[in-house]
Amino acid sequence: MFQQLISTLLLLLFCSALFTSTPAVAGQGRALKKYVRFQAGTTIAHGIVEGDRVRQIKGDLFGAYEATNTTYPLESLKLLAPVKPTQVIAMAGNYRSHLAGEEISAKFKIPQAFFKSASCVIGTGENIVIPRDAEDVHFEGELVIVIGREARDVPEEQALDYVFGVTCGNDVSERKWQKSDVQWWRAKGSDTFGPIGPVIVSGINYDDLQLTLRANGEVKQQQRTSDLIHSVPATVSFISRYVTLHQGDLIFTGTPGTTSAIKPGDTIEVEIEGVGTLTNGVVAEK
């Protein structure tokens, strides 16, 4: 009887350790997964990345879906922008390294968000098109939040429950328009000025990932998202206080360091640790 009691206690301790020894990433509530939106022939669908293959899913990416028996080699697919958002919001001045001066001014101690257009979104492999009258277009490598369910006035401690995952992004910006126009609608929102992809990743620590931007293979930006002035939860919470966020909406979280001009013929890569690499060529508008 005593040996049976000891065995039962050991079993309970083992089970407890099994479920508590590896802490979950705060707020994620799901296992590590990578999602893509792809085209295979005439089929356009979402899928789950499984090694070097993609398993097509059926249903709502942000709700109820089921994995099908249809798989494709990842390298054979045309990867599209992973979501088609209704809103694209971006953060200004969210890294100390991107601000002039050592101190964070009072203005940037408050999250400073602005809108980009939904039509600016393109996927990996597509070209950034420089408008005919643009003079000074810059890259801005960024972590991009993908909203997973409707969020309105969400407390910061619950904000990650509304985040589906993250992807790589490039907040392409025309600096002269940004300075001279009343609003940033064309400086930040011109068509193709919002590359994202190649995948959405959930279940990782969004606030401690290394971001690297390369222009023609040369590293131009590199910093960890742990250096964000306003974290992913803080950003989602603040924006949702004023604007209702919907499934598939995007939040560009800001760019680190300095940026420089891009030109036709360039190749820009944004790589984020644990996510992947977004690659876009640059062309001139015809």
pLDDT at 25 over 60: no
Instruction: Say which residue the tokens 């009072």 belong to.
Output: 106
* Selected residue with higher pLDDT from 26 and 28: 28
Among 22-31, 223-232, 262-271, which is the least confidently predicted range?
22-31
CATH superfamily for 88-284 is Fumarylacetoacetase-like, C-terminal domain (3.90.850.10)
pLDDT at 12 over 70: no
- Architecture label for domain 2-80: Roll (2.30)
pLDDT in tens, 271-281: 999 999 999 99
Contact by Cβ (8 Å): 109, 70? no
Among 21-30, 111-120, 127-136, 185-194, which is the least confidently predicted range?
21-30
pLDDT at 18 over 50: no
User: Which one-letter amino acid corresponds to residue 173?
Assistant: S
Question: Minimal CA–CA distance to 264: which of 96, 71, 132, 100?
Answer: 132
> Taking the domains of the chain in order of start, what are their residue ranges?
2-80, 88-284
* Selected residue with higher pLDDT from 9 and 102: 102
Structure tokens at 233: 């939860």
pTM for this structure? 0.89
pLDDT at 15 over 80: no
pLDDT in tens, 83-107: 999 999 999 999 988 886 667 888 8
Q: What is the pLDDT of residue 30?
A: 63
> What is the arithmetic mean of pLDDT over 134-156?
98
Q: What is the pLDDT of residue 22?
A: 30
> What is the arithmetic mean of pLDDT over 19-34?
52
Structure tokens at 109: 């101690």
What's the chain's length in residues? Answer: 286
